[in-house]
Amino acid sequence: MIDLEHATKLYGTVIGVNDLTVVLGAGAHGLLGPNGAGKTTLLGLVTGQLRPTMGRVMIFGERPFGNPRVLARIGYCPAADLLERGATPREWVSYLVRINGVIAPAAGKAAAMAIDRVGLGEAADRPLMTLSKGMRQRTKLAGAIAHDPDLLVLDEPFVGLDPVARHDLVVLVREWAVHRSLLVASHLLHEIEALDAGLAVILGGRLVASGDVEEIHALVETMPAEIRVESASPRRLAEIACSSGLVDSLRFDGHAGLAIGTRRPRELVAMLGRAAVAEGIVILALSAGDRSLEGVFDRLVQLHRGIGSGSGGPRPPAPAGLAGESLP
């Protein structure tokens, strides 16, 4: 469905998307990355607003830029707020459907159905300027789904929504993804996690990992994690840790701090605990990396930026095992 091959987008000398190769099949996919990672640029390529500077972008087997056959099958909900304040949601959504070439009465019906579907029924005839940001967000979503596209592309769809609206939207989008395809960009991992979507992590315009949630977890398990220890005897602890064979990198942090990079964090922590008891070493604090999905995401970000693998040590290998893979 979505096939990018060495896709690169440059804005002058600024890189938006960098040599990105990925194949996303039908179904739900989440695009994760911090602000400025290149998600919106990637969505711009997918939705035919941008043309790749290098490489190839194919959607439904065709290039999307300026291709009405492909564009007719895509629904796009941009991140930017809708500042079309004079129109009502009904007028706005109907207008968008009519641009697709639908006659006015049919467009009106499609708009009404989409507005009901996003739960905006009562506010359908109020000017957009009087609606909350969350309601405008729903209006944008209604505009994206009203023409019944095969692929729905959402850029930060949960921004500005209260928890109830967020839950409603998750339910709606999950229902959508049962029969159609979905690509959601977000910088918040739990939002993507709630959609049961496949994950693609993008950083600095590059795809650094992709797979489902478990695969991303497994990937991180194989990469160095950082254990931070504060102790009255950090040098002795460093000796013990190094002799264990579990250490990838190690650095002292101030008088009492020790940061240890390891691929076997559980074993290392257990071993340090045993050694401290045996030798009477006082450990003031010990913290391991966050293993929640949010922590995993943070870890990928850190690894991409070359942080947290132990300064002075070699930069960890990029998680190339998953980057650039196909998702079914």
Partner 1 sequence: MNALRGIIAVAGFQIRRLLAPQRIALALVGAAFPAAVILAVRRVADLNLDVLALLLYALVPEAVCMLGLLVTMCPVVADELERGTWQHVAVRPGGRRSLLLGTFLAAVAWSSLVALLALALALAAAGLPDSGPLAPMFAVLVLVSCVGRAALFSLPAVIVPKRALVASVAVAFVVEYLAGFLPAVINQLTVSLRLRSLLVRWMGWERKLPPELSLIIDTQPPWVQIVAVVALASVFLFAASIILAGRQFPPAEES
Which strands, in side-by-side order, build the sheet including 249-253?
A: 249-253, 257-262, 225-231, 283-287
Q: Which is nearer to partner 1, 139 or 249 (CB)?
A: 139
319 Cβ partners below 8 Å, 6+ apart? 208, 209, 219, 223, 300, 303
- Pick the piece of the chain touching partner 1 (CB under 8 A) from 18-26, 83-91, 210-218, 257-265: 83-91
By CB under 8 A, the count of residues binding partner 1 is: 49
Of 90, 104, 181, 180, nearest in space to 143 by CA = 90
CB 256 within 8 A of CB 232: yes
- Pick the piece of the chain touching partner 1 (CB under 8 A) from 103-111, 220-228, 294-302, 304-312: 103-111
Q: Which is nearer to partner 1, 187 or 291 (CB)?
A: 187
Q: Give the one residue of 2, 7, 28, 71 binding partner 1; rule: CB under 8 A.
A: 71
Tokens 């478990």 -> residue: 214
Q: Which two three-digit tokens encode residue 163?
A: 């928890």
Site string for partner 1, 139-158 (x = CB under 8 A): -x--x-----------xx--
Q: How far is the CA of 14 from the CAs of 9, 18, 134, 187, in angstroms? A: 9, 10, 32, 21
Residue 98 contacts partner 1 per CB under 8 A: yes
211 bridge partner residues: 199
Amino acid 191 reads E
- Pick the piece of the chain touching partner 1 (CB under 8 A) from 88-96, 218-226, 241-249, 272-280: 88-96
Q: Give the one residue of 6, 25, 56, 68 binding partner 1; rule: CB under 8 A.
A: 68
Tokens 């972008």 -> residue: 57
Q: Which is nearer to partner 1, 139 or 262 (CB)?
A: 139
273 Cβ partners below 8 Å, 6+ apart? 283, 286
Residue 35 contacts partner 1 per CB under 8 A: yes
Q: Give the one residue of 17, 57, 59, 96 binding partner 1; rule: CB under 8 A.
A: 96
The torsion defined by the Cα of 85, 89, 95 and 98, in degrees rounded to 10, comes to 170
Q: Give the one residue of 26, 72, 170, 281 binding partner 1; rule: CB under 8 A.
A: 72
Q: Which is nearer to partner 1, 47 or 210 (CB)?
A: 47
Q: Give the one residue of 8, 181, 186, 309 binding partner 1; rule: CB under 8 A.
A: 186
Tokens 């998702």 -> residue: 327
Residue 317 contacts partner 1 per CB under 8 A: no
Amino acid 259 reads A
Task: Quickly count: other Cβ atoms within 10 Å of residue 56's Cβ.
Answer: 12
Which residue ranges make up the site for partner 1 (CB under 8 A)?
Answer: 11, 16, 35-41, 44, 47-51, 66, 68-69, 71-72, 74, 76, 78-84, 86-87, 91, 95-96, 98-104, 107, 140, 143, 155-156, 185-187
